[in-house]
């Protein structure tokens, strides 16, 4: 597992999460978007759009369905950026 402090991509994604983190949850790679952050579908759509814009990628609906944690999102963005 990657140390959060030395993972710039994790830090960037965490930065994108903050405006949507209404509960003030401490964000780690294990943080669940649904269980921990309690995001509804509209919040997820807004967040995905923000991530796509920031990293110039497209996250398909199928990929979204498989991404449950921040760590999985970091891994997905890494793959999509090639």
pLDDT, one tens digit per residue, over 7-65 is: 999 999 999 999 999 999 999 999 999 999 999 999 999 999 999 999 999 999 999 99
pTM of the complete model: 0.89
Domain positions in the chain: 4-81
Structural fold of domain 4-81: 1.10.1200
pLDDT of residue 4: 55
pLDDT of residue 47: 97
SS3 annotation, 1-38: CCCHHHCHHHHHHHHHHHHHCCCCCCCCCCCECCCCCC
pLDDT of residue 37: 98
pLDDT of residue 5: 55
């Amino acid at each position: 597992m990657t140390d959060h402090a030395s993972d710039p991509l994790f830090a960037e994604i965490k930065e994108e999460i903050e405006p949507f983190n209404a509960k003030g949850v401490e964000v780690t790679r294990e943080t669940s978007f649904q269980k921990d952050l309690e995001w509804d579908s509209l919040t997820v759509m807004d967040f995905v759009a923000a991530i796509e814009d920031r990293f110039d990628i497209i996250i398909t609906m199928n990929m979204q369905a498989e991404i449950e944690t921040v760590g999985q999102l970091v891994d997905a963005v890494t793959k999509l950026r090639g």
